[in-house]
Structure 1
Amino acid sequence: MFQLPFPVRDANAGGGSKDLGNLPEWDLSDLYTGEDAPELKRDLDWLEQACASFAADYEGKLAELDAGGLLECVLRNEKINQIAGRIMSFAGLRYYQLTTDAGRAKFMSDAQEKITNFTTPLVFFTLELNKLPDDHLDTLLNKNADLARYKPIFDRIRAMKPYQLSDELEKFMHDLGVVGDAWERMFDETIAGLEFEVNGEVMGIEGTLNLLTDPDRANREAGARELAEVFGANVKTFARVHNTQAKEKEIIDRWRGMETAQTGRHLSNQVEPEVVEALRDAVVKAYPKLSHRYYELKRKWLGLDVMQVWDRNAPLPMEDPRIVDWPTAEKMVMDAYTAFDPRMGELAKPFFNSGWIDAGVKPGKAPGAFAHPTVTDVHPYVMLNYLGKPRDVMTLAHELGHGVHQVLAAGQGEMLSSTPLTLAETASVFGEMLTFRKMLDNAKSQTERKVLLAGKVEDMINTVVRQIAFYDFECKLHAARRNGELTPDDINALWMSVQAESLGPAFEFMDGYETFWAYIPHFVHSPFYVYAYAFGDGLVNALYAVYAEGEEGFEEKYFDMLKAGGSKHHKELLAPFGLDASDPAFWDKGLSMISGFIDELEAMED
């Protein structure tokens, strides 16, 4: 079933003001001009007919097809995915612009139901494909080069073969997906509808989280305490969502015979469990030399005996609390992208001038940020909640990297363009690194350099340490749920069990912080998504080291890697750079870059 985009960044954006310049909004007309667009009705009608005729032509007959026949079957399936993807991209993006609008929510829900109903007869395709003997499929692939191009897709589908249920049960699961989505929508709408009152001002979650980076410590504390108050008042709802989602996942995993709660994510990411565990173990082992060491430095800079949770993302005392307006942010990122390779700048340009970015913070708009690829014959759309801090510039650089990656991978076609999450973060984190290095090179003083380095270290800690702590929390949550219903206090305790370990002894934790798991969208929308951030950061740090060493032809190899989309495994993609993510030392190499930045910050103290 087609999956909607969702906010994916851990939203701790910086403070802003209304004087940010002309913030762009989406122009969704490249998808459809509106809910009543004749093209939308045409596509829905086509989709219903195309799914029915596909099932009539191929169900029960896949084993009889020759190479040319199987290729035609694959191409027809790809076209169906493209039209369904276009419809749901339009519905989903409109919804995320205003999640509190009942009309938009109904339109998206109705579209999802129709597409689920239309595509249910197609469930046989992957089931029958998995029943083909290996030697038979290999023979067909060897006979037709155009068909052989889709081998990565066949491999991905057939990786699920050991976990496949009966045809009837698979159709039931497909239909039931709409019900699971309802819990995700409940989470989104609850989060978007929360109101927080701080210092007499009522605001949504983005504005309140934004207070956690306010220069005034009293404002940070007020924001943190109000978040805790409102999360606490709604914790039963969030606990119900998590209990239900985790139980649903446990039932499906049990029926499929999946070895662990994480197995499905590893399969979809095309990454071996031992590679993820090597990453996880390397990061946890590095907590003392990364987060513990950095936050001890920050505690001294802030002049505190002990840090509270509202100090974690506080600006540094020597930091210029400037607001970066939108035109300046655009220039900073575009300059960094173009300096790496002019082609990258050209690919990024239309995002700014063609209505491909929705940047402003608006009531009811989904929190966080994302880049959604839509479909390969349109273009990606980037969503931000831009508030004007340097950190927000980094988020722009990050999401624009996703967008450029998605544009380049579109040449692979609908089925092969989609990149597994572990590799999907490559271009985004690399885009951040390019922008950061450009800003560091242009630093006019030691103090400015220190602030930039500290900001980058904090972002890396949020991307690596915090996300692995999130991953550990999820592992504990799903394991505990298998033994029965979890109370809010049970979930709170699991959350706190990973927080002190990852953040270190510099912190005290206020009453109420134990509920801060409640607002993280990944846990609900896409269990175990979070380790992909750490994977991507570690991978890019290693990749950037190769670039910084002056690897000949790096830019061309990099573009080739992005153009490959989901057509190659991480081993194949990294081999041209002399890198291998399955080597445990690989992760230490990536983590040493963060440690090196902290070394430089400590040296500045002398």
Structure 2
Amino acid sequence: VEALLLTCRNHAPLFQRYFRAKATILQLKPFTRYDLYAPGRTSLPRFSFDRAREIVLEAYRRLSPRAADLVARVYEERHLDAAVRRGKMGGAFCYSVLPHLTPYVLMNFTGQSRDVATLAHELGHALHGLLASKRSILTFHPSLPLAETASVFGEQLLLETWLSRERRTPIRQALLMTRLDDLYATILRQAYFVEFERIAHQIAVEGATIDQLADRYLALLREQFGKAVTLPESFRWEWLTIPHIFSTPFYCYAYSFGNLLALVLYERFRQEGRSFVPQYLDFLAAGGSQSPEELLRPLGVDITSPKCWEQGFAQIHDTIAELERTI
């Protein structure tokens, strides 16, 4: 975790580069913290449910036919509840109930591109559960740091599938910005929450006031955004609105860990191609039967080394470079 947080902090300038590119595309000057998640200037295409299924299965077929066939079982066994109806809960969720049961997926499909990404994400969880079906009920669920690996990997597969067939520059820009917004929110932002918590717990014991805590939070935001984002002074109080800081302290590292690890593995897939697939599927099939470090060792991934996490940021670098080429 120390190696992960250090690497994230060292790559804050990479996301600053993205924010400058986004500001140029959106023609926003200054580009403020309020603009951070602003959508692209062009609406993304809408999808029928059948078309969404087709493109998601195509994305998983890029990994392997076996992966696509396993994902298709969720559809075939009618374990996907995607229809919008009165009284249905919001959000999206996948649950592997028992090792021998096909996982269940809950979501609300409205035809937006983000819904297709949600499908790819949740079906990645389902793939993880299906591959680990030979494990016991106590070990088939992945541990917290690995829980998002297959789902985020699935999102990357979908993005590559979309980009391979989409030639319209405004649509490519919107797809890339949506993905980079998500990567910022789930990797760098979460890592900085944990950095703040480490400082806050230390200085609180020493008698720090709430204003001093807010000062330290604002200093970390300024480090995070540099000169790429204009930061209103009021954001010094943002930490008070983050429930994890109070209800589940230090939990947020798991978001950074899981999302960046998925990019590390995807970078290996890009470099090694088909030879990497059996190792990756075996890793998913292990479920939570060993520690993350032990499970990743056969893949040549050393999560204790900053060099490991650098590979994930190589993926982010390439995505930003792709966006810059559209300007």
TM-score computed with the length of structure 2 as normaliser:
0.85
- 2:225 maps to 1:503: yes
Cα pair 2:146 2:258 within 8 Å, conserved: yes
Of 415, 435, 439, the residue aligned with 2:162 is: 439
Distance in 2 separating the partners of 1:416 and 1:283? 30
Alpha-carbon offset, residue 368 of structure 1: 4.5
Cα pair 1:375 1:414 within 8 Å, conserved: yes
For residues 156-555 of structure 1, what are the structure 2 equivalents within 5 Å?
A: 276-288=1-13, 290-317=14-41, 319-352=42-75, 354-359=77-82, 368-384=91-107, 386=109, 388-479=111-202, 482=205, 495-509=217-231, 513=235, 516-517=238-239, 520=242, 522-523=244-245, 526-551=248-273, 553-555=275-277
Alpha-carbon offset, residue 403 of structure 1: 1.8
Alpha-carbon offset, residue 423 of structure 1: 1.8
- 2:299 maps to 1:577: yes
Distance in 1 separating the partners of 2:172 and 2:204? 46
Residue by residue, what CA displacement relative to the aligned partner does 1:429-458 show, whole Å, maximum 9, x if unpaired?
111111111111111234433333333222
Cα pair 2:99 2:133 within 8 Å, conserved: yes
Residue by residue, what CA displacement relative to the aligned partner does 1:229-257 show, whole Å, maximum 9, x if unpaired?
xxxxxxxxxxxxxxxxxxxxxxxxxxxxx
Cα pair 1:419 1:566 within 8 Å, conserved: yes
Alpha-carbon offset, residue 565 of structure 1: 0.8
Distance in 2 separating the partners of 1:461 and 1:308? 15
The one-letter code of the counterpart of 2:15 is S
Distance in 1 separating the partners of 2:247 and 2:102? 23
Alpha-carbon offset, residue 294 of structure 1: 0.7
Distance in 1 separating the partners of 2:289 and 2:325? 44
1:529–1:578 distance in 2 versus 1, CA, 3 Å: same
Q: Which residue of 1 aligns with 2:283?
A: 561
Cα pair 1:421 1:529 within 8 Å, conserved: no
Distance in 2 separating the partners of 1:393 and 1:530? 25
Alpha-carbon offset, residue 342 of structure 1: 2.2
1:589–1:601 distance in 2 versus 1, CA, 3 Å: same
Task: Figure out how many residues of one structure are paired with residues of the other and give that number.
Answer: 327
Distance in 1 separating the partners of 2:83 and 2:204? 38
SS at match of 2:132: helix
Cα pair 2:120 2:154 within 8 Å, conserved: yes
Distance in 1 separating the partners of 2:82 and 2:218? 33
Cα pair 1:546 1:577 within 8 Å, conserved: no
The one-letter code of the counterpart of 1:300 is T
Distance in 2 separating the partners of 1:507 and 1:462? 15
SS at match of 1:376: coil
SS at match of 1:414: coil
Q: Which has the larger radius of gyration?
A: 1
Which of structures 1 and 2 has the larger relative contact order (alpha carbons within 8 angstroms, sep 6+)?
A: 2
Residue by residue, what CA displacement relative to the aligned partner does 1:138-187 show, whole Å, maximum 9, x if unpaired?
xxxxxxxxxxxxxxxxxxxxxxxxxxxxxxxxxxxxxxxxxxxxxxxxxx
The one-letter code of the counterpart of 2:291 is H
The one-letter code of the counterpart of 1:439 is W
Cα pair 2:44 2:113 within 8 Å, conserved: no
Cα pair 1:291 1:504 within 8 Å, conserved: no
> Over aligned residues, Cα RMSD in angstroms?
3.1
The one-letter code of the counterpart of 2:4 is L
Alpha-carbon offset, residue 553 of structure 1: 3.5
Q: Which residue of 2 aligns with 1:245?
A: none
Q: Which residue of 2 aligns with 1:595?
A: 317
Unpaired runs of 5+ residues, structure 2, are: none
Identity %: 35
The one-letter code of the counterpart of 1:411 is K
